């Protein structure tokens, strides 16, 4: 019998995870199945679906919106990244326990450093947004040695709160990353150049761009939009127009976080390059 894995969310039909994990399993010769489960919109739906899947012998799950917070809450053990993010995107069922991780940040870091060959060590990073997506990537970016991180958000209060909450965790002994929060109109955005600008807002999903000054993007070596499959988003277009050296969407992050989960479950890391190539859409 093949081992069973799944992704759970609501809605879930759009999820690329079954395709990605299917390609990983094929390439690594792992005997497993991977299905999509709709946790439904009713209270308790996630917990019920999770228990049914475990009872039927499920070994692990990816978790997507809107269940990432519930996934962390139901876990017996969680790693630091998940705990600080307040959310989990991968679960493993082992020896009667539910273990939780959040691989979104690891996926982003690997995509930037390995696939796009942009150093994060010593980098000045601007993160746009202060919601769940931003939360999940702050610690992993600090852990690979970013020098400075500015969290900027439309609602400045939320950015300040997030920076205050993360400050003690990102300024560790062997890596002193400075973190601050700001609104989009703050002087810091138009002043110092950032080497990497990451759009972690959900603006691109509604065809909008975060209203940041051109100067925040002008000197960037990389402008990265965490959404994928939307082509040239208004954020990426702005970056391109003001001369950012490179633009990328989040397809690499999606595939890399999937590879992290696959490795955690199966003990073997699949080659991500061919999968990213199959799924990537042109940025036009
Ligand atoms: P997610 O889990 O995708 O991060 P979220 O927690 O709802 O979703 O957070 C959405 C983020 O996108 C917030 O930072 C939000 O800004 P506000 O806190 O000011 O609401 C940001 N966002 C959404 N639409 C935006 C837009 N059109 N322009 C700028 N920021 C936007």
Determine the atom of ligand 1 nearest the C-alpha atom of 206: 27
pLDDT at 115: 98
Minimal-distance CA residue to ligand 1 atom 11: 201
Mutate to test the pocket of ligand 1, among 202, 208, 226, 233 (most ligand atoms within 8 A of CB): 202
State the distance from the centre of ligand 1 to the C-alpha of 23, rounded, in angstroms: 32
State the distance from the centre of ligand 1 to the C-alpha of 201, rounded, in angstroms: 4
Fold assignment, 105-251: Rossmann fold (3.40.50)
Determine the atom of ligand 1 nearest the C-alpha atom of 205: 24
Mutate to test the pocket of ligand 1, among 201, 227, 228 (most ligand atoms within 8 A of CB): 201
Catalytic one of 68, 158, 230, 281? 68
The domain limits of the chain are 3-102, 105-251
Fold match, 3-102 / 105-251: yes
pTM reported for the whole predicted model: 0.96
State the distance from the centre of ligand 1 to the C-alpha of 208, rounded, in angstroms: 11
Minimal-distance CA residue to ligand 1 atom 18: 155
Determine the atom of ligand 1 nearest the C-alpha atom of 201: 12
Q: Which residues contact 258 (CB under 8 A, 6 or more apart)?
A: 17, 20, 21, 24, 62, 103, 107
Does the annotation mark 68 as catalytic? yes
Q: Among 254, 253, 232, 256, which Cα is nearest to 244's?
A: 232
Mutate to test the pocket of ligand 1, among 65, 131, 136, 253 (most ligand atoms within 8 A of CB): 131
State the distance from the centre of ligand 1 to the C-alpha of 203, rounded, in angstroms: 6
pLDDT at 173: 56
State the distance from the centre of ligand 1 to the C-alpha of 132, rounded, in angstroms: 9
Question: Burial letters for 226-262: b for 16+ Cβ neighbours within 10 Å, e otherwise?
Answer: bbbebeebbbbebbeebebeebbbbbbbbbbbbbbbb
State the distance from the centre of ligand 1 to the C-alpha of 66, rounded, in angstroms: 15
Q: CB–CB of 78/264 below 8 Å?
A: no
Tokens of 23: 């390609």
- At residue 45, what are phi and psi to the nearest 5 degrees? -65, -40
Tokens of 230: 């939307």
Q: What is the CA radius of gyration of the chain?
A: 19
- The binding-site residues of ligand 1, defined as CB within 6 angstroms of any ligand atom, are 129-133, 153-155, 158, 201-203, 208, 210
Minimal-distance CA residue to ligand 1 atom 9: 131
Q: Which residues contact 113 (CB under 8 A, 6 or more apart)?
A: 119, 120, 144
- At residue 34, what are phi and psi to the nearest 5 degrees? -140, 115
pLDDT tens for the chain, residues 1 to 284: 999 999 999 999 999 999 999 999 999 999 999 999 999 999 999 999 999 999 999 999 999 999 999 999 999 999 999 999 999 999 999 999 999 999 999 999 999 999 999 999 999 999 999 999 999 999 999 999 999 999 999 999 999 999 999 999 998 756 778 999 999 999 989 887 899 999 999 999 999 999 999 999 998 999 999 999 999 999 999 999 999 999 999 999 999 999 999 999 999 999 999 999 999 999 99
CATH 1.10.287.620 is held by the domain 3-102:
no
| Length of the chain in terms of residues written | 284
């Amino acid at each position: 019998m093949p081992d069973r894995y799944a992704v759970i969310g609501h809605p879930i039909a759009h999820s690329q995870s079954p395709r990605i994990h299917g390609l990983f399993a094929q390439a690594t010769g792992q005997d497993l199945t991977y299905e999509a489960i709709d946790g439904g919109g009713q209270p308790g739906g996630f917990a019920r679906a999770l228990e049914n899947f475990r009872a039927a012998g499920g070994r692990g799950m990816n978790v997507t919106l809107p269940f990432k917070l519930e996934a962390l809450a139901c876990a017996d053990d969680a790693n630091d990244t998940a705990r600080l993010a307040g959310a989990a995107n991968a679960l493993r069922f082992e020896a009667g326990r539910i273990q939780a991780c959040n691989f979104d940040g690891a996926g982003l870091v690997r995509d930037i450093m390995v696939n796009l060959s942009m150093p994060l060590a010593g980098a000045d990073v601007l993160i746009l947004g202060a919601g769940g997506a931003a939360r999940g990537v702050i610690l992993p970016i600090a852990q690979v040695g970013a020098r400075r991180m500015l969290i900027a958000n439309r609602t400045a209060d939320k950015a300040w709160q997030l920076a205050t909450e993360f400050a003690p965790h990102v300024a560790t002994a062997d890596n002193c990353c400075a973190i601050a929060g700001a609104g989009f109109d703050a002087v810091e955005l138009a002043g110092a150049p950032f080497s990497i600008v990451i759009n972690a807002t959900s603006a691109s999903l509604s065809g909008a761009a975060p209203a940041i000054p051109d100067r925040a993007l002008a000197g960037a070596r990389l402008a990265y939009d965490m959404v994928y499959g939307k082509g040239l988003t208004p954020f990426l277009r702005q970056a391109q127009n003001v001369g950012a050296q490179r633009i990328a969407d989040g397809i690499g992050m999606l595939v890399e976080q999937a590879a992290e989960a696959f490795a955690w479950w199966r003990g073997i890391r699949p080659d991500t390059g061919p999968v990213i190539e199959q799924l990537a859409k042109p940025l036009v």
